[in-house]
């Protein structure tokens, strides 16, 4: 268990020593208050780094909210935010998003790398969703509410081409780490997390 509903042990702000005030425990959930922005809202489970793993959690998000789940997060003075180096499973209110939303930035996407299928199963804002990531060097799989939303081979020729031609072309350290921290994003939307657990593979 990375979060058991009662303690924030192991969790702290990205590149920080303590948990920022924008995150609280509420009714057994780890809650982002929506005070974060492009920089400064991320938290990490800093007690241990993970390489190959199966990660699962439940989450819900307020109307129009935006968040994310990071893995293989690196820290250091050269980075301002986790997204500069860590892959992201996108968490966002698809159904209540106020503007145009591309498939590459919709819920269940490997953000800006792999798009989820149009027939994915997503629940409305303020309703619980279940997310699972299985990561190995041979294959990565993302699931949303039991339905696969992405599958790819990390560091493959296809992966390199997507990185070089898309949003991450100017982020040389994006996705290069073979091991790192687990992170959660507060990107300005109130978000609740619970039952966060991981198994090493």
37-48 tens-digit pLDDT: 777 789 999 999
Q: What is the pLDDT of residue 37?
A: 75
- CA-wise closest residue to 140 among 195, 87, 196: 87
Question: In this predicted model, what pLDDT tens digit does every residue of 121-174 receive, in sequence order?
Answer: 999 999 999 999 999 999 999 999 999 999 999 999 999 999 999 999 999 999
* 11-200 carries CATH number 2.60.120.560: yes
Q: Is the pTM of this model over 0.75?
A: yes
């Amino acid at each position: 268990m990375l979060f058991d509903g009662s303690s924030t042990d192991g969790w702290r702000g990205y590149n920080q020593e303590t948990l920022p005030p924008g995150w609280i425990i509420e009714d057994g959930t780890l809650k982002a208050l929506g005070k974060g922005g492009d920089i400064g809202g991320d938290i990490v489970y800093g007690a241990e780094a993970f390489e190959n793993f199966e990660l699962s959690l439940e989450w819900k998000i307020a109307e129009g909210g935006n968040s994310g789940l990071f893995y293989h997060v690196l820290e250091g003075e050269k980075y301002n935010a986790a997204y500069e180096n860590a892959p992201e499973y996108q968490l966002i209110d698809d159904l209540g998003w106020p503007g145009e939303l591309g498939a590459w930035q919709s819920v269940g996407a490997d953000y800006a790398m792999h798009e989820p299928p149009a027939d994915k199963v997503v629940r409305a804002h303020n309703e619980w969703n279940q997310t699972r990531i299985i990561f190995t060097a041979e294959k990565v799989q993302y699931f949303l509410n039991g339905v696969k939303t992405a599958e790819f081979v990390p560091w493959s020729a296809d992966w390199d081409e997507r990185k070089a031609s898309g949003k991450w072309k100017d982020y040389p350290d994006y996705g290069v780490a073979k091991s790192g921290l687990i992170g959660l994003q507060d990107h300005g939307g109130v978000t609740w997390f619970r039952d966060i657990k991981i198994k090493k593979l």
